[in-house]
Structure 1
């Protein structure tokens, strides 16, 4: 088992060229983290992994990588791996009912650790700062979620997000079917 901490190696200077998001560089950054954590980069991952800066132009701080292992509307189930570089956050969001039920999620940290934020619960004193590019959030209750910890969405259709600790994170997510039409961000211009 590796004892050295995974350290941040990339900045926005690496992820953007002439203002354009460089997805290939972002995937290489994720692969670098995978190598540290002994996460095999499989053929399925090479063909299906995605990265996004959610249109906010700040992948260093607000973005993620991921892979949908399964997202089955007919049987109503979903399995997802979330990849976050050191200090990176997913924009605050909620999942609402559409033609499908609102998405209900559970998460388990596999590598690294995250702050798991929710709008449900008391404000957490001394919570980590939210990147300026994201702006204000409704989710002010946060817990540190470490390897093996399993948390679930506290209340349906509520806002929530994750922010990786300084070592980055690999998080397993299980849920009912994910319908993108039900995804709502608090940031006015965030998109997938």
Structure 2
């Protein structure tokens, strides 16, 4: 699995991990778990660069992984991938990798309509998380809504490492669903 070399990454991608609390910038009481957030770039099999953010508990250890492919659009009410929700999942013990699918927002490439390139990208994100973020290769789940849900369902059909999918408002074949 290829990850863009650090020298070629922008400053935001190589910045040190930044601890934050589940509620934002402050702790809620003495026992509030601390979460580390980091922006990264993950290179897909065909060289497309995917923009991602990693949220994980501050203390090291191998943890279950949740991959969160983004929806078609991001709205203020976008619940699944909100930063607060991702931090809460990480505070609960997960490594969470949320990313913009190819052709969307900060990621390169062209939209694949939840096709084979998108499914392959999920596998690359899993590879990256296992190699670099302390993700447990035997406990992998996908969580997404809308377009990301379609990507998740199709990826799970081809990657046997995926053990669970939470697909909200998803589809698997947009043309066939009409």
**TM-score, normalising length from structure 1?**
0.29
Structure having the larger proportion of residues in helix: 2
Structure having the larger proportion of residues in strand: 1
